[in-house]
A and B are shown apart, each in its own frame.
Chain A
Amino acid sequence: MPAARDAARPLAGPEPLIDAHAHFYHAGCGRADWADVNAARMRAGDRIGITYHVASILGSFGFTSPTYFPSPADVTHGNDAMLDMCARDPQHVRMKVMVNPNYTEHALSEIERCVARGAIGVKVAASRRADDPLLDPVCELAAAHGLPILHHIWQHRRREWPSQEISDGADLARLAARHPKANFILAHIGGGGDYMHTFPAVVDCPNIFPDLSGSGVDRGMLDAALDTLGPRRLLWGCDLTIDTGLAKLRALEVIGLSADELAAIRWRNATDIFPPGSFPRCV
């Protein structure tokens, strides 16, 4: 799968860059172009200069069970595909193990199985509200292994939305308060909803690290995140749109962050919350 590397002149500069929120597909996802989309992520990553894609696969992405309510079989299949991708491109790909907390034993066994094969984080989608007690055993096991938990978030949950049991920053803050030894990645501040609600909702939770991913590129969003949370709490990521990831990197440069602050968002914060040694090329 590795594409021809274009590392000579990366668009985002030569410094390390970790995409803390990436996804790949596999043949069981029901789309004929799944391999092309995976290759496009690597191609764009090479052009930007992404050092590591920290990725997960959400079951079958809706083909044989819902994306945000994946069946145990689909969770396992997706995790297997993700393990294979890591094995094929260990220089660039890292894995978060996907779990559905409605199936506690399966979720815990998947974490153990995939950590043994190199997974460095946990991905929780929108299968259960973030502050539900069913997430507690998942968080306890993740903390025991030193794995951060990326939780899918809708910024400001004002109502139910179809096909997911959506959580927002306030929901995740309650979970994070119960698990101070675990670190949480709050998914995609640009991924829909009102990010201006999210920042104050999590500001008092030092173990929550919002990622910048998502298609949303509102002017003022990054400024507000920095004003409220500061650069030590933010992680760079792309999710489904790498072009907006590059745009946000350039916007951060325009905002006037110091080199140290920019490095924190680009990669250093990620190296602090993922297990030691996860990113040997980020130094």
Chain B
Amino acid sequence: MIDVNTLIGPYPFRHVPHPDPDVLIRVLDREELDGAWVGHLPSAFYREPSLGNRELYSALAPFASRLRPVPAVRPDWPKWHDVVRDAARAGAPAIRAYPPQWSMGPHDSNMSELALAAGEQGMALVLTVRFEDLRQRHSLDSAGDLSAASIRSLARAGESVRLLVTAAGREMIEEVHWSLTPAEQARVFWDISWVWGPPEDHLAKLFRTIGADRFVFGTQWPLRLTQTPRANLELLPDDVRGSKMSDARDVCRAAMAESTGVRI
């Protein structure tokens, strides 16, 4: 199993212990995970993330067999298409973008172009609904959560689009899913890092209603405990325990198949 939602590097608004790739490897071993998709946490808060991407590629190089880079691309910056192509050449399964942190609204055409460009390269676009609970945010952390409107707008941008939305809760997932056509729904995957388990059983309800195959395993390490999503899966009610979620490779393979016909 692959953890699709990990990051390295410090977080600007609180101390995060050991956000380093060698520590992530140890965590993957402990949690019996095969590998991870890894972003660069500070880049979400850079005006221009390219230098953060360089740090990411360099930091992950010694661990290339298990840690795959997910660089950030800001689509209102000159030459951003080159960054997307570089990511594809570097073997990135996906790229990350942070519309709230970059003040991009739900219908920003740059974001739609980015989602399409990533899809055409066989990569998913990773979106982050939130990094922290709204109730604890630093006074300077005023970007707000990614909106459902932003996600559905990108899901509707074109057939090549593949979205991996991280850190969403049940209401957000339901609002987006049921606002899309079946073809559009198939373009969107969700990680389970912020979905509640029992007694409210949000994850179980989502598995029953929209299907486990729309979900992938993600933890949001190093911000959150890696033990949480696995605990959530282990506590599913009997009727959905053992449901087969999608694998990270399904997200990429689907995107590749759509754009080039090549399956990886």
Contacts and interface: CB of A to CB of B under 8 A. Distances in A.
B199 A247 contact: no
Given A40-B237, A219-B222, A242-B235, A192 B136 contact: yes
B227 A250 contact: yes
A155 interface: yes
B174 interface: no
B17 interface: yes
B89 interface: no
A193 interface: yes
Contacts of B132: 218
A219 B235 contact: no
Q: Which of A43, A44, A47, A158 has the most CB of B within 10 A?
A: A44
Chain A interface helix/strand/loop/mixed: helix
Interface string A38-62: 1011011001100000000000000
Q: Which of B139, B198, B227 has the most CB of A within 10 A?
A: B198
Nearest to B224: A217
A247 B234 CA distance: 11
A51 B200 CA distance: 20
B228 A242 contact: no
Contacts, number: 100
A218 B227 CA distance: 11
A48 B235 contact: yes
Contacts of B135: 154, 192-193
B223 A219 contact: yes
B199 A40 contact: yes
Interface in A135-158: 154-156, 158
B102 interface: no
Contact of A219 (B136, B198, B224): B224
Given A192-B136, A219-B222, A220-B16, A44 B198 contact: yes
B136 A47 contact: no
Interface string A232-249: 000000001111101110
A1 interface: no
Interface string B20-57: 00000000001000000000000000000000000000
A247 B227 CA distance: 5
Nearest to A248: B225
Interface in B103-149: 132-133, 135-136, 139
Interface string A242-266: 1110111011001000000000000
Interface string A156-174: 1010000000000000000
Interface in B219-262: 221-225, 227-228, 230-232, 234-235, 237
Contacts of A48: 235
A11 interface: yes
Given A192-B135, A219-B223, A43 B14 contact: no
B227 A251 contact: yes
B199 A38 contact: yes
A196 interface: yes
| 7 A-B pairs with least C-beta separation | A243-B197, A192-B135, A44-B198, A247-B227, A40-B199, A41-B199, A247-B228
Interface of A: 11, 37-38, 40-41, 43-44, 47-48, 154-156, 158, 192-196, 215-220, 223, 240-244, 246-248, 250-251, 254
Interface of B: 14-17, 30, 132-133, 135-136, 139, 196-201, 221-225, 227-228, 230-232, 234-235, 237
